[in-house]
Structure 1
Amino acid sequence: MNFHFQQAIRAVILFAFSAMIFNLHQTGEITKLINPKYENLSKTVAILFFILFVVQLTRIFSFSTKDHHHCHHTGHHCCHHDHGNSPFNTKKLFSYLILIIPLATGFFIPAKTLDASIAEKKGGMMILSKQTQAAETEDFTEAAIPNQSAGDNLYGDHAPDPNLMEERQEIPEEEYDHLKKELSQKQTIHMTNHIYTIYYDDINSNASKYKGKKIQLTGFVLKEKGFKQNQLVLSRFLITHCIADASIIGFLSELPEAQNIDEDTWIEATGTIDISTYNGEQLPIIKIADWKKIEEPKKPYIYPIDIRVGL
């Protein structure tokens, strides 16, 4: 019976990938890496890795007593078949290193939440200004909302329960239109995680419609050069697929104590929506009236909601 060392290493790597993904799910750290709608897909990948590991176990030992070594004497050509015992070379070592590095980081380095330093590298306020411009050029007209009187409710007496919506990744188009219509009627806007992107887009595209309304939101503090002493951004990261495509969203805000609040501090704030100008662009600004420091939320990221059109 022959023991094939390299085949054993491959089996260990396959098992390690499966265990790492399952561990990320077990600890909840997976939500710091991918959009929750892909959780089932990542679990499927972990199961596939485990199946491949089981298959690989059959290749670690062989019961052949003869080496598979065949030479074509006439052509002086010799064939060497690699059954997992050939010596390591630079190419193989590099291949294994590529696989081992993500495993080592996955097991020994805890997932870190994206912070202000990453936001600054991605563009910070420049990105937020462009988002406002883009939102204003989109067709956010009332024509997209069914013709109803101000008191009508798309769901009659059965409006969506926000508590039941919190974990959903997809909503019908009618429900999306209802949420936007409901937003315009609110006197105090609560920016919960689930509806954050829906409200954020509409406030940016129709800032004048929301001027003077109260707003309650949470975020981490981002500051940039050129800010006034009373200015900061209440920021969040939007994750479409995974942290590789993370983008910064948030609102420029003003409060007297801004200079005493460190970057990356999470705060919960209540204020009033106003309109201001930054680098020549008009954008919504929050005049904060009340705030408090909070711990970083268990789910610090915002995820977009898919709109299901039709049946």
Structure 2
Amino acid sequence: MSDNLFLRGVILLGFALFMFKLIVTGQIQQLVAPKMLPFLYFAMGTLFILSLMQIWRSDDKKQIACCGCDHHERRSPFQSSIVYVIFVVPVLTGLIFSNQVLDSSVAAKRGVQLSGLSGGDSSSDDEFFAQLFGNEIEEVPIEKREKVDKNQLEKALLASDKVVFTKENYLEALEIIHNNIEHFVGKEVELTGFVYREPDFVKEKAVIARFVISCCVADASVYGMLASGKQLNSIVNDEWVKVTGIIKRTNYKGNVLPCIEIKGINKIKQPNEPYIYDGSL
């Protein structure tokens, strides 16, 4: 019994250390949105305390028997090993290996699930483009993003000759442009993101995209703008670029979408914070 308590304590400590590693290395930003960090701190502290309690209780001399009876169902050594392996393996892999940023392969899989670009009907195509190009960004309450006033941003963008996407205005700017394409045609634009292509795209066409996270990577969605130009010929999927160009109107599979006619493109390093956090504090 004492050995089981000690092992349980070590497993809980392992989970706490795994969370601590993510926080110290900054890799936690690849998994959860900043607004979730207080809950993670609380969970880490709770697991640490519980692990110490389990380890302390594993000392037979410190255990207090309620009635001298064994209330625990006895398992075979094999059953016990399987149960512990289920918890030990995730802890070890989390401590040993690094996290990987979501890339175009994930975007393709999630796109296929939403869309039906591969043999789907028009209604599923509409759903895909709404997800990919921000047609229904309004489904995410604007009020959660306190850093940007949507009305003021819309007035500023309409009055400006150049649209510059930032982490703070990314979603709102996409929505405003998509809903007012006729007012933005001909305006200069600057956008940073990773390159993503659908299977039917030619090399001169791509989506300059970012993953947007509300709470964690499990709810990550892709938002971006179509871009076209010969400069994309030498750019492969997942490369990060800063694109400048002119906003044009294009039609793709019956959908009228804004498109960047590329004038200049520069390869850049992947940002330390590659995701856009919706509702971040």
Q: Alpha-carbon deviation of 1:26?
A: 0.5
- Of 223, 238, 241, 2:215 maps to 241
Q: Write the distance in 2 (CA, Å) between the matches of 1:101 and 1:68.
A: 34
Q: Alpha-carbon deviation of 1:224?
A: 1.9
Kept after mapping to 2: 8 A contact 1:190/1:216: yes
Counterpart of 1:56 in structure 2: which amino acid?
Answer: Q
- Of 46, 71, 85, 1:97 maps to 85
Deviations 1:160-201 (A, max 9, x none): xxxxxxxxx74178x332223222222111111121011111
Q: Alpha-carbon deviation of 1:132?
A: 7.7
Counterpart of 1:18 in structure 2: which amino acid?
Answer: A
Q: Write the distance in 2 (CA, Å) between the matches of 1:138 and 1:66.
A: 58
- Of 58, 61, 66, 1:60 maps to 58
Kept after mapping to 2: 8 A contact 1:218/1:268: yes
Counterpart of 2:10 in structure 1 is 12
Q: Alpha-carbon deviation of 1:97?
A: 2.5
Q: Alpha-carbon deviation of 1:90?
A: 4.6
Aligned-pair identity (%): 30
In structure 2, relative to structure 1, the CA distance for the partners of 1:59 and 1:113 (3 Å cut) is same
Q: Alpha-carbon deviation of 1:95?
A: 2.8
Q: Alpha-carbon deviation of 1:87?
A: 5.5
- Structure 2 unaligned segments of length 5 or more: list them: 118-124
Kept after mapping to 2: 8 A contact 1:128/1:250: no
- Matched residue SS, 1:135: coil
Counterpart of 1:106 in structure 2 is 94
Q: Counterparts of 1:21-60 in structure 2 under 5 Å?
A: 21-60=19-58
Counterpart of 2:130 in structure 1 is 130
In structure 2, relative to structure 1, the CA distance for the partners of 1:172 and 1:41 (3 Å cut) is same
Counterpart of 2:241 in structure 1 is 267
Q: Write the distance in 2 (CA, Å) between the matches of 1:196 and 1:64.
A: 57
In structure 2, relative to structure 1, the CA distance for the partners of 1:202 and 1:89 (3 Å cut) is farther
- Segments ≥4 residues shifted beyond 6 Å: 64-70, 136-139
Counterpart of 2:71 in structure 1: which amino acid?
Answer: H
In structure 2, relative to structure 1, the CA distance for the partners of 1:11 and 1:208 (3 Å cut) is same
Counterpart of 1:185 in structure 2 is 159
Q: Write the distance in 1 (CA, Å) between the matches of 2:167 and 2:137.
A: 25
In structure 2, relative to structure 1, the CA distance for the partners of 1:273 and 1:41 (3 Å cut) is same
Q: Counterparts of 1:184-223 in structure 2 under 5 Å?
A: 184-223=158-197
Q: Counterparts of 1:291-310 in structure 2 under 5 Å?
A: 291-305=265-279
Deviations 1:85-116 (A, max 9, x none): x5654543333233223212211121100011
Q: Alpha-carbon deviation of 1:222?
A: 0.9
263-272 or 87-96: bigger deviation: 87-96
Q: Which has the larger radius of gyration?
A: 1
Kept after mapping to 2: 8 A contact 1:170/1:305: yes
In structure 2, relative to structure 1, the CA distance for the partners of 1:123 and 1:172 (3 Å cut) is closer
Q: Write the distance in 2 (CA, Å) between the matches of 1:192 and 1:65.
A: 58
Q: Write the distance in 2 (CA, Å) between the matches of 1:280 and 1:109.
A: 44
Normalised by the length of structure 2, the TM-score is: 0.84
- Matched residue SS, 1:105: helix
